[in-house]
Amino acid sequence: MTDSKVAVVTAFNKPLELWSVPLPEPEPGGIIIKVDAATLCGTDAHRWSGKLHEVANADHPFLPTVTVPYVPGHETCGSIVEMREPVFDIEGRPLKVGDRIISSYAHCGHCYYCRITAQTTLCAEKQVYGASAPQRFFGGCAEHHAFPAKCSFIRIPASVPPPVAASATCALRTIMHSYEQIGGIAPHETILTLGSGPLGLYALAVGIDKGAQQNLIIGAPKARLDVARAWGADAALDIADMPDAEARIAWVREQTGGRGADVVVNCATAGSFTEALRMTRTGGKLVQVAVGGPAPMTVQQNLLFRGVQILSTVMAEARHFHQAIQFVATRADKFDFGKLISNSYPLSRTGDALKAMEELTEVKPLIVTQP
């Protein structure tokens, strides 16, 4: 049994430690990969700062309670180094040592959500990454990662660079789930994306790809909106230029014949829900993706009497991971996905990257996991 390095959160909101931990055998049906790229998202930062504890309660039984020590990172791609028995990818093709893959989360397969409603992200026994004890190797900020059996493994096409493949495993797979919830986009429709972080930029890209007549985005800072414009946003509004919510709502109505957007994808904050609802046209669709940000919030009663379909996206099913990888593989000529990666840090500086994420000075940092 060889040792492998992992970055470990030993106390919330404190610097990380680098541990050498014996690498386990893969479980039957599972896989061990060498991590080629691990990217971080806001959830990693909120988990590290201790804020995610507040939502793991009886109303959210599908969220595990995170205890220290744990290895962060749930956006990971890598190359297979070990399997104990034949394992197949999501398309039924046998996998072999050296293949580059990402993995969905494993779920129990026998509960109400797994068996009856087919909403496996809500399974209380699913095994998420980036929140487990170092000995399990269930975090991306490490030289190696273990994937349990019952996961779906998605092969990465040769054209997709590791950091892009890693970033697709959280933000983009969630957006694929959102667009599945929204349903079809008609050619006359306007899609408004709120937020210009990785979720928002991926939402914009998928919205453009869906063929909407008009794609609007509101976010900050300027550098992210420049990416949005380069990717084809018809109009991008910087909230620094329009800090007043009423003015932003008026701006959206000006772009949409006074109605509001047909579809609003809110990737900004939970606290912007009411603003997002007012930006949605009567009878339109609002999908709430963002869950962080200021709370509590109040919604005026009269805003509910407008026939808006309100949706909420929680993580993603295996098929959305697959769709996300296919999207970055087939749309690289339309969208420079590498622009989402804002910086890179060695494994030993994972704590600095988490801190920078929490302070919003990074969009999506890459952790370079190999020496």
What's the angle, vertex CA 325, arms to CA 177 and CA 349, rounded to 5? Answer: 95
Give the residue with the Cβ less far from Zn ion, 233 or 268: 268
Does 287 participate in binding Zn ion (rule CB under 5 A)?
no
**Closest by Cα among 45, 318, 27, 8 to 132:** 8
Applying the rule CB under 5 A, the residues between 186 and 245 that interact with Zn ion are none
The answer to whether the beta carbons of residues 138 and 131 sit under 8 Å apart is: yes
At its nearest, how many Å lie between Zn ion and the CB of residue 220?
20
Give the residue with the Cβ less far from Zn ion, 114 or 156: 114
The contact mask relative to Zn ion for 94-133 (x = CB under 5 A, - = no) is: -------------xx--x--x--------x----------
Judged by CB under 5 A, the residue of 7, 23, 37, 43 near Zn ion is 43
The contact mask relative to Zn ion for 128-167 (x = CB under 5 A, - = no) is: ----------------------------------------
Residue reference for tokens 């399990």: 136
Does 182 participate in binding Zn ion (rule CB under 5 A)?
no
Does 35 participate in binding Zn ion (rule CB under 5 A)?
no
How many residues touch Zn ion under the rule CB under 5 A: the total is: 8
d(CA 91, CA 98): 18
d(CA 155, CA 333): 20
d(CA 162, CA 177): 22
Judged by CB under 5 A, the residue of 33, 41, 166, 277 near Zn ion is 41
Q: Name the CA dihedral angle for 194, 196, 197, 198, rounded to a multiple of 10 degrees.
A: 90
At its nearest, how many Å lie between Zn ion and the CB of residue 42?
7
| Dihedrals phi, psi of 323, to nearest 5 degrees | -60, -40
At its nearest, how many Å lie between Zn ion and the CB of residue 257?
36
At its nearest, how many Å lie between Zn ion and the CB of residue 170?
3
Does 168 participate in binding Zn ion (rule CB under 5 A)?
no
Does 291 participate in binding Zn ion (rule CB under 5 A)?
no
**Closest by Cα among 14, 145, 124, 160 to 74:** 145
Judged by CB under 5 A, the residue of 170, 182, 220, 324 near Zn ion is 170
Q: How many CB atoms lie within 10 A of CB 73?
A: 31
Residues 6+ apart with CB under 8 A from 250: none
At its nearest, how many Å lie between Zn ion and the CB of residue 105?
11
Question: Residue 353 is inside which H or E element, if any?
Answer: helix 350-358
At its nearest, how many Å lie between Zn ion and the CB of residue 245?
27
Does 311 participate in binding Zn ion (rule CB under 5 A)?
no
**Interface contacts to Zn ion, rule CB under 5 A:** 41, 43, 107-108, 111, 114, 123, 170
